[in-house]
Amino acid sequence: MKLRTKYILFVVIIHLVALVLTYFIFNDNKIWFIVSEVFVIISIVISIRLYNQLIRPIKTLMQGVDAIKDRDFNVKFLSTGKHEIDQLTDVYNQMMDELRTERTRQEQQHFFLEKLIFTSPTGIVVLDFDDNVQQVNPKALQILGVEAGDILNYPVDKLQHVLLQQIKHLKSGENIVVKPDGINTYKLQKSHFIDRGFSRHFIMIEDLTAEILAAEKNVYGKVIRMMAHEVNNTVGPVNSIMQSALKTDKLWESHQFNILKDALQVAVDRNHNLNFFMRNFADLVKLPAANKKPVNLHQLVDSVSKLMEIKAKEKEIEFEFQLATGSFNIMADEQQMEQVLINIVKNAVEAIDKKGTIIFKTTAAKKSLVISDTGIGISAEQTANLFSPFFSTKKDGQGIGLTLVREILVNHGFEFSLKTITNKKTEFTIMFN
């Protein structure tokens, strides 16, 4: 029962009792009966005034409590002139001011945090208390290559994405560096924060590709320059001596020296091959900036396919063309893009043992080129190292072909991928911007 109800009930009962008692006590004496009734009336008036002074202000303060429950911090009360009530009113108004200030501060911080997350160059995925995806910023969507509706409100460990699958193995505070496609490198970190007394996790996905590529290029550039310097300093003088010896006819007048002469010639040829080998590596380090001009991609594909056709026919490999109608122009360095396509087609030919198909497909809407082959494919272990310098899946490979392809495409700003889709189907995709 509310205080107001108790008060009214008490006042009604006490005055009814007083009226009944005065009636029985002073029934014979009208003067005292009238006087007692006047006192009862005065008591009722006093009770009403006390109600107005005590109960109604409390009722008003209860309206303030309701406002707090509704999170409406704009309700304030005026002074009543009653000391005790005004003290409560002052405390209430002060509390409301502080709550309103605190809410404004929290809203500003929340807005700042939301803006920071939205514009962050690091992908951020925020989970709820049940580890379902509650929020994801644009950078994370870009890295994951999905739409927000595809992952929001789904359990993070149930999402079929190679990056998010790695999160299942991480504890809060741990991080891992992964290279899912052999091209891009990402750092995944799992952390937590306290929300309303409970722990919630969030995931940060940092794209380290540019930094890793720059570091790799700096390292293998130094190695290649050192190797080229040592090889040239050694091979040059040695070749000069051997060629001088080969040109001196008096040394080879006797027939018995023909074997030695042939051996020296083999050594000279081998040194030339070694120089050619080192020039391939040097070209990787000295790759010039892309001289971008309008290039007809279809004409470029046609010229490269004709160049590689003889090598393909030796293994009974057929070329198939699924090119978009009309011309397909891109802004690129024609010579460098030709080298890219030659390396891709060469790898596709070498991946097919005997008989197979290499398909060239362009899509105008997506501005893409896909070169697929029916070769042996790429294993999961090989995928992570495909574009690493000096890594090769071939027995006698130098490991610079795909590295050169990567350098050229990265310098052009073209996205690309190499992966085995199904058995006997491997695709190299280039997305032109």
Residues of the chain with pLDDT under 70: 3, 27, 53-60, 80, 82, 84-85, 182, 216, 220, 229-230, 250-259, 261, 277-278, 280-286, 380-381, 384-400
Domain 120-207 fold? Beta-Lactamase (3.30.450)
Give the pLDDT score at 277. 66
Buried b (16+ CB within 10 A) or exposed e, 356-390: bbbbbbbeeeebbbbbbbbbbbbeeeebbbbbbbe
The structure's pTM equals 0.54
Give the pLDDT score at 366. 87
- Domain borders along the chain are 3-106, 120-207, 211-285, 293-431
pLDDT in tens, 70-89: 777 777 777 767 676 677 77
Give the pLDDT score at 420. 85
Give the pLDDT score at 57. 66
Give the pLDDT score at 67. 76
- The yes-or-no answer to whether 120-207 and 293-431 have a common fold is no
Give the pLDDT score at 68. 72
Give the pLDDT score at 385. 65
Q: What are phi and psi of 227, to 5 degrees?
A: -65, -45
Does domain 293-431 correspond to CATH entry 3.30.565.10? yes
Tokens standing for residue 223 = 């190695």
